[in-house]
Amino acid sequence: MLSKKEKYKVIWSDGVIMEKKKIRSRKIVKYGMAFLIPIICIVIHMMMTDCYPFGKNTILLGDSNTQYYAFFVELSGRIRQGKSIFFSWDMGLGYDFYTNFFYYLASPVNLIAVLFGGSHMELGMIVSMCIQVGLCGVTMTYFLSHTSRNKMQHGWLNDILCVVMGMAYSMCDYMLAYQYNLIWLICLLLVPVMMLGVERLIEGGDVRLYFVMLFMSFVFNFYFSWFVAMIAVIWFIDVKKDSWKMFWKRGVKFALTSITAALSACVVLVPCFLAIVGREGASSLTEDIPFSKFGNFANLFQSFFWGHDIDIAGRTLYARNMYMGLSLLFLAVVYVFNRNIQLRARVKRLVEIALLVACLNLTGALYVLHGFTYPHLYSYRYAFILVILLIVSAFECAVNWTKPGIREGILTGVVFLVFFGGAKVNLSFIYCLLYGHDSAYYIFVYGICIAGQKQHKDKFPDCEFYSDTFCGTDIQCCICEYRCIYYEQGASRWS
């Protein structure tokens, strides 16, 4: 027979266990949704557009069709036959396979593709691609759930917001237009966790997470890690809160950690650098354009709304694959006027976004930020940095929501008038009628939903839930609209 005190201990222990199980179940649902929903959308679209294994077309376009497939098949054969990854004698007098491995094949997720064998490598590559796209949603959801910017009380509403914003990253136009460049995806899924590592370095001096993520990006894809390092620097500046003395102290620690990560990966970086130096690259569409040439800003404005053309090869000078949801764009604009967020932080973020917008449009910045070389197509490979900053801005606005005032409403309206005006430049009347007005109507309805909080404070959670629903619907409804255009230009399957 248990005493009264012992009974209380049992009840308390059972309550703690039940609460832990509930939290664990909620996490499984949260990260499961962030992982599965993007994959399900991709599979549905593959079925709609007759892509393999559902038809004669392929979702693996561009370089994945002409380059990656052959290297994946060769890697599968080398693993089966126990051959070296350092050098290959299968062509001419032999060639260096080591640098090819660390550019195309080093991602551990690629082992999933290798398991399918050479005869089913296309299916293996598709599975690898889908898993990495899903993991991008998971890592962004994890970052938003654990970042110090998340001021909202943790619960189901916070989980929904994190999942929706996480899916905005994994299903944004940049990700979906370039998902066939699956060698980049490993770095894209590491970026949110790396950003969390930067926060921990600045706020607590813990360098471990940042070091590991940066080191992994150097090893898994040494080329794209250049852009990972770029966003690491930008995020370090963005997170800075303390005095300048502490900023420089943390800056030295940040720089030393970054250098240590690079030196730790020198077994990959040095041979690959030596192999690249002096190599003559393919001609670029931008080489004949003046160094100070600006692109057409209308492309930027158009890319944030429904119905814009998607540039799957990056042939245009200015980035056109910026869509990540009208709802998030609305919140990102409202972020600038959110009085619950420090003015210094808002100004700093606005400057960062403005500089990125300029760099995405200026030929000279294109040259410098691609490692002092003009890229062959895919001419705005760092555009994902702008997408991430906009998503984080929208998230911060949502979790630091304040009662909208007349001034904020007017300023937000002016900003969107500029967006719509820019988006209609050089557009046909049919486009404006079908897509521009639909986008305007959507933002108007969303704004009414948000403004309802001013008159119904007691129903704010409901308003926020409807806002999350708007965001999720907005992100996903664009999938079918853009994909049908996308794969009409797609490649036929190889024989």
| 88 bridge partner residues | 95
CB atoms within 10 A of CB 39: 18
Give CA–CA dist 451/249, Å, rounded. 43
Residue 446 pLDDT exceeds 60: no
Give CA–CA dist 100/74, Å, rounded. 11
Give CA–CA dist 334/446, Å, rounded. 12
Beta carbons of 129 and 182 less than 8 angstroms apart: yes
Residue 457 pLDDT exceeds 80: no
pLDDT of residue 349: 92
Per DSSP, the three-state class of 96 is strand
CA distances from 398 to 62, 148, 204, 230, 377 (A): 38, 14, 25, 26, 36
Beta carbons of 335 and 263 less than 8 angstroms apart: no
- The amino acid at residue 456 is H
Q: Which pLDDT band, with edges at 50, 70 and 90, does 437 fall under?
A: very low
CA distances from 149 to 146, 262, 357, 395, 398 (A): 8, 28, 24, 9, 11
User: Model pTM?
Assistant: 0.82
Give CA–CA dist 464/159, Å, rounded. 12
Per DSSP, the three-state class of 95 is strand
pLDDT of residue 13: 55
| 362 bridge partner residues | 294
Beta carbons of 325 and 387 less than 8 angstroms apart: no
Average pLDDT, the chain: 76
Q: Which of 332-346, 374-388, 399-413, 439-453 has the lowest mean pLDDT?
A: 439-453
Note the Cα 320 to chain centre separation in Å.
15
Q: Which pLDDT band, with edges at 50, 70 and 90, does 139 fall under?
A: very high
Residue 91 pLDDT exceeds 70: no
Query: For 327-345, what is the mean pLDDT?
Result: 85
Residue 216 pLDDT exceeds 90: yes
Residue 210 pLDDT exceeds 90: yes
Q: Which of 116-130, 307-321, 424-438 has the lowest mean pLDDT?
A: 424-438
Give CA–CA dist 208/230, Å, rounded. 19
Handedness of CA 193, 199, 203, 206 (dihedral sign): positive
Q: Which pLDDT band, with edges at 50, 70 and 90, does 103 fall under?
A: confident
473 versus 185: the higher-pLDDT residue is: 185
Note the Cα 175 to chain centre separation in Å.
6
Give CA–CA dist 213/229, Å, rounded. 11
Q: Which of 55-64, 73-82, 239-248, 410-419 has the lowest mean pLDDT?
A: 410-419
250 versus 66: the higher-pLDDT residue is: 250
Give CA–CA dist 221/184, Å, rounded. 7
Q: Which pLDDT band, with edges at 50, 70 and 90, does 479 fall under?
A: very low
Q: Write the DSSP symbol of residue 53.
A: T
Give CA–CA dist 344/351, Å, rounded. 11
Residue 456 pLDDT exceeds 80: no
Beta carbons of 475 and 359 less than 8 angstroms apart: no
CB-facing half-sphere around the CA of 303: CA atoms within 13 A = 24
